Amino acid sequence: MSETNDRSPDFIQEFRKTRRRLPHWQAPGETHFLTYGLLDRGCCDLTVPQIARIIVDALQFRHEERYLLHDWVIMPTHVHLILCPEMTGDGFYSLSKIIGGMKGWTAREINRVIGRRGAFWQDESFDRVIRSDAECRKRAFYIWMNPVQAGLVDHPRKWPWWGNGWFCRGLRSEE
């Protein structure tokens, strides 16, 4: 295991633990649950279609190339996702590089659309290694139900900004 306070490399080959304000763990080949949010919650609503489309495009851009995107939801002030970094000849893609790329591109594009400049996303993201199938289902269900629990819709199928959902496909088809 390596532990460092340095910026993450492009690729990792072993369990990696870093810390800034939050601890960040990446286990090569493992699935992760992540959340990242707006720095200024009043700057915009991420679910406005023109903005949400930018985020969806970024989430799907490197899917099956640098990571497998299993599930996601866009909320007004934050994004939740479940993904697994892909393997390359040098190891596994670094989670911080994946998320940093998403956040950097979306920040530039959304700032352009809403006519603002400067930092857009909170500096750090919350991440958690998913340790079991049961935890994976629990996190996917959380993603699925998040808009309902926030009072945005009365049924999760009515929310336009959630992803693949293949972890919950059976559960969702019964809803």
> Using one digit for the tens of pLDDT, what is the confidence trace for 93-150?
888 889 999 999 999 999 999 999 999 999 888 888 888 888 989 999 999 999 999 9
Asked if residues 163 and 59 have their Cβ atoms less than 8 Å apart, the reply is: yes
Sequence-separated (6 or more) residues with CB below 8 Å from residue 138: none
Average confidence score pLDDT of the chain: 83
Q: Determine the Cα–Cα distance for residues 141 and 161; give it in Å rounded to an integer.
A: 15
Asked if residues 83 and 70 have their Cβ atoms less than 8 Å apart, the reply is: yes
What is the structure's pLDDT at 91?
79
The class that CATH gives domain 2-174 is alpha beta
Is the pTM for the entire model greater than 0.85?
Answer: no
